[in-house]
Structure 1
Amino acid sequence: MRLTSILSVAAIGIGATAVQAEDSSDPIIIPIHNWSSQIVMSNAVGQMLEEAGLNVEYVTTDSQAVYESIRLGDVTLEMEVWEGAFGASFRAAMEKGGIVDVGDHDAVTREDWWYPMWTKEACPGLPDWKALNECAEVFATAETGDKGRYLDGPVDWLKHGKERVEALDMDFVVINAGSAAALWAEIGAAEADKKPVVVFNWTPNFAEAVWPGEFVEFPEWEDGCDTDPSVGPNPDALYDCGNPANGYLKKAAWEGMEEKWPTAYCILENISFTNPQIAQMAKLVDTDDLEPEEAASEWLDNNADVWEPWVNSCTS
């Protein structure tokens, strides 16, 4: 049962009335991207705000361009700013002004080359990247000739797999997946006969519970690896190191949100999801086959003790 306590307060003339009086009736614009946890989380947060008396709309947006949209006020907030994937776009928008950092989730993220554990039998030197490169022919396909095949994330995730292959002189061909679902399909198809595969993956998501695996260990991330060629082992190239192994997962908002929707901004500040919570959100869609809106509702129903305090403290 959702928002029971909030609605009971509203019934005696407090709570929701204050929300409607203070917050604009204009819709809060929440962006939707192309991976499950972000879609479910965004719907869950939207449903929290709606039941607190606020107006919400969803818009499908590019996961990199969204930060410029937030900065300009065309989009109100972003629930999943992954350090490895979107840190550069987020920082660029912050430098221009108009977008604010609304704090980190409790979740710790990692995004990088990854393999299911059965792959290690064919390339026992893993997770070291040099050992992976020495085993490149194990991952070769008709598409890649005598070089290994690495399935990277969708192009708009800007994972820079091709740049890393060039910077580290690796015997791999980088192929971009069309969607997150294509990455899961790659792993699932390889599972039956334990075919060695290496793909882009991230945590938190449901996959780590379904297919135990490991991230490839590249040269350790250093600040500047993506902007300064002198950082990292190759002095003439960018992206010659791995992504942050303990990355942040931030929330971001249009700088005018707090004044226009103070209650919604208060709730956004309070929200902080953990790795298991985010993985569960993704699982509801990726393995339980729920629609994102249904998955969001189910997660809220099952976790009222987690999120009701976030809302209650801002509405009562």
Structure 2
Amino acid sequence: MKLQTPKSIRSLVVAGCVSLLSVTGVAKAADSTQPIVIPIHNWSSQIVMAYVIGGMFEKMGNNVEYVPADSQAVYESIRNGDVTISHEVWQSTFGKSFYNAMAKGGVIDAGTHSATTLEEMGVPTWVIEKDLCPGLPNWEALKDCSDNFTTPDSGGKGRWLEGPQSWHGDLMPERLEALGLADKWTVKFAGGADALWTELAAAKKEGRGTVVFNWTPNFTDADGFTFIEFPEYTEGCRKADGGDGRCGSPKGWLKKAANYKFPKTHPAAYTAFTKLDFTTTQIGQMAALVDTDKMDHKDAAAKWLADNEAVWMPWTK
């Protein structure tokens, strides 16, 4: 019998490993040790989901970094490589910025969530039940009920409390003008999502009317919220697109975006990101952990990951 030398034994072991990997298909490029940079915006579901996705990436062995980012400018940051992904691309608010960045190159569409979206002005359902604006949710009811929606900062007019101006610019003031409501209503901008929820709680406690910007999926889906029905959205109906600005918001998709290098630098993480798919209910649950249960965003993400391994673990396979 011919004895194998240590060198020849090592060669056989290496050859065997290579053969096994080629048969099983396990051999894959390893993800980079460079951090995956995830943006943090200013609404609860986005922040909780950021930490959920980051936690998933970390479970896969990746390094993750979180950075505050403007929700419109983030697509340029992704294009330039300063941010790696965006996981809540809302069609109505961010679709144009997303597609503009894609057209310049450097941003890729990483798929669409099952959840469908709507971003619109509306009222808590109890406002309708109390008949504070007869005829709602039809927008024309707003012509005759503004007195029930005045606030100390509204100059005697009814108030629409919009989100931060960075979200939609002058979309809502332009709509008021276009609908002929500006003599009875005014738009004020909230500093962030928390201010919207504070207003909802205060109005309910005081029993007064309130019109606020909201969206679905959100925790308010379970609380009872009614979106106002404005003239139907059509392509080009907004003033910024050459229209008269009367139209409401469209129902839309919720997408994911990524830097074009992400599939090469982090192939496993990118594959998991493309598989990642949240429903309206799941996103609302994430927001509720913070806005209803008053958990910290990171703690909420940790709880969601622990409670939903059957949901996210298959994405990592």
Same fold (TM over 0.5): yes
Structure 1 range deviating more: 26-35 or 285-294: 285-294
Number of the residue aligned with 1:156: 166
Structure 1 range deviating more: 115-124 or 31-40: 115-124
Question: Residue 241 of structure 2 aligns to a residue in which SS?
Answer: coil
C-alpha separation between the residues in 2 aligned to 1:54 and 1:141? Answer: 49
Unaligned runs of 5+ in 2: 1-20
User: Equivalent residues in 2 for 1:89-168 (5 A)?
Assistant: 89-120=97-128, 121-158=131-168, 160-168=171-179
**TM-score of the superposition, structure 2-length normalised?**
0.87
Do structure 1's residue 308 and structure 2's residue 279 form an aligned pair?
Answer: no
C-alpha separation between the residues in 1 aligned to 2:287 and 2:227? Answer: 20
Number of the residue aligned with 1:8: none
CA deviation string 1:262-295 (max 9, x = no partner): 1111001000000110011111111222211111
> Is residue 118–residue 196 contact of structure 1 (8 Å, CA) maintained in 2?
no
CA RMSD across the alignment: 1.9
CA deviation after TM superposition for structure 1 residue 192, in Å = 2.0
C-alpha separation between the residues in 1 aligned to 2:231 and 2:186? Answer: 19
AA at the equivalent of 1:308: M
CA deviation string 1:198-230 (max 9, x = no partner): 0001111112213x121000111111123433x
C-alpha separation between the residues in 2 aligned to 1:88 and 1:34? Answer: 19
User: Equivalent residues in 2 for 1:1-316 (5 A)?
Assistant: 21-120=29-128, 121-158=131-168, 160-170=171-181, 171-210=184-223, 212-226=224-238, 227-229=240-242, 231=243, 237=244, 239-244=245-250, 246-312=251-317
Structure 1 range deviating more: 149-158 or 163-172: 163-172
> Is residue 148–residue 208 contact of structure 2 (8 Å, CA) maintained in 1?
no
> Is residue 91–residue 254 contact of structure 2 (8 Å, CA) maintained in 1?
yes
Question: Residue 145 of structure 1 aligns to a residue in which SS?
Answer: coil
C-alpha separation between the residues in 2 aligned to 1:294 and 1:140? Answer: 38
AA at the equivalent of 1:126: L
C-alpha separation between the residues in 2 aligned to 1:32 and 1:243? Answer: 24
C-alpha separation between the residues in 2 aligned to 1:264 and 1:167? Answer: 46
**TM-score of the superposition, structure 1-length normalised?**
0.87
AA at the equivalent of 1:168: L
Question: Whose Rg is larger?
Answer: 2
CA deviation string 1:281-316 (max 9, x = no partner): 11111122221111111101111111111112xxxx
> Is residue 118–residue 194 contact of structure 1 (8 Å, CA) maintained in 2?
no
C-alpha separation between the residues in 2 aligned to 1:199 and 1:33? Answer: 19
CA deviation string 1:114-158 (max 9, x = no partner): 101222211121011111232222212332233211100012212
> Is residue 116–residue 187 contact of structure 1 (8 Å, CA) maintained in 2?
yes
C-alpha separation between the residues in 2 aligned to 1:249 and 1:272? Answer: 10
Structure 1 range deviating more: 139-148 or 292-301: 139-148
C-alpha separation between the residues in 2 aligned to 1:161 and 1:136? Answer: 16
AA at the equivalent of 2:226: E
CA deviation after TM superposition for structure 1 residue 18, in Å = 6.0
CA deviation after TM superposition for structure 1 residue 181, in Å = 0.8
C-alpha separation between the residues in 1 aligned to 2:198 and 2:61? Answer: 40
Question: Residue 122 of structure 1 aligns to a residue in which SS?
Answer: coil
Question: Residue 289 of structure 1 aligns to a residue in which SS?
Answer: coil
> Is residue 179–residue 246 contact of structure 2 (8 Å, CA) maintained in 1?
yes
Q: Percent identity?
A: 51
Question: Residue 118 of structure 1 aligns to a residue in which SS?
Answer: helix
CA deviation string 1:156-176 (max 9, x = no partner): 212621121122221311000
> Is residue 40–residue 293 contact of structure 1 (8 Å, CA) maintained in 2?
yes
Aligned length: 289
C-alpha separation between the residues in 2 aligned to 1:256 and 1:223? Answer: 32
C-alpha separation between the residues in 1 aligned to 2:27 and 2:59? Answer: 13
AA at the equivalent of 1:165: L
